[in-house]
Amino acid sequence: MTAQTPFDNRAPIPNLDDFLCFAVHATGFAFNRIYRKPLAKLGLTYPQFLVMAALWGADGVSVGALGDKLALDTSTLTPLLKRLEGMGLVERRRAQEDERRVIVSLTGKGSAMRAEVGGIMRCVFDAADLSPEAFVKLTRDIQALRRNLERAAEA
């Protein structure tokens, strides 16, 4: 006799806690709660922080490229960018070679904020209560899962 899995049509409907998608979804909210206090000191929300982190990694990119990096569509990203621009952290300008493209760049103030990132990232590491090796492995496993799901969704 073979064991039933949660994926077997004969198996009972799994509890919500058995859904990988729900575990990832709920974990996202937990990250948001962990980040809330340290980011409040910088005047940033978690989504704004993600935009800034993407720009600290690659400054002077198009809105489209930034949206791809963050897995956000333009209608979600544009209000975040407007708010960050109003805070003096980023600037948007039309590309000279193609005015349809908007380039997003960090300001001096936005670049300087990067110095605070270590402490913010440390709060997540401490809250996760994992060894450094387990932390890195889990991050890589989740990245692989995302790639696999995106590939399957495109097929």
Please indicate, yes or no, if residue 7 is contained in any of the structural domains.
no
Q: At what angle do helices 117-128 and 20-42 cross, to 10 degrees?
A: 140
Q: Phi and psi of 97, rounded to 5°? A: -75, -20
How far apart are alpha carbons 60 and 31 in whole angstroms?
27
pLDDT of residue 3: 57
On the CB side of 22, CA atoms within 13 Å amount to 6
Total domains, the chain: 1
How far apart are alpha carbons 27 and 88 in whole angstroms?
31
Please indicate, yes or no, if residue 79 is contained in any of the structural domains.
yes
Q: Find the domain containing 128 and state its range.
A: 22-154
Please indicate, yes or no, if residue 15 is contained in any of the structural domains.
no
Please indicate, yes or no, if residue 66 is contained in any of the structural domains.
yes
Please indicate, yes or no, if residue 12 is contained in any of the structural domains.
no
User: For the domain that residue 52 is a member of, what is the CATH number?
Assistant: 1.10.10.10
pLDDT in tens, the chain (155 residues): 455 566 666 667 778 888 999 999 999 999 999 999 999 999 999 999 999 999 999 999 999 999 999 999 999 999 999 999 999 999 999 988 887 889 999 999 999 999 988 888 899 999 999 999 999 999 999 999 999 999 999 99
> 21-32, pLDDT tens digit by residue?
999 999 999 999
pTM over 0.75: yes
What's the token pair of residue 89? 């952290």
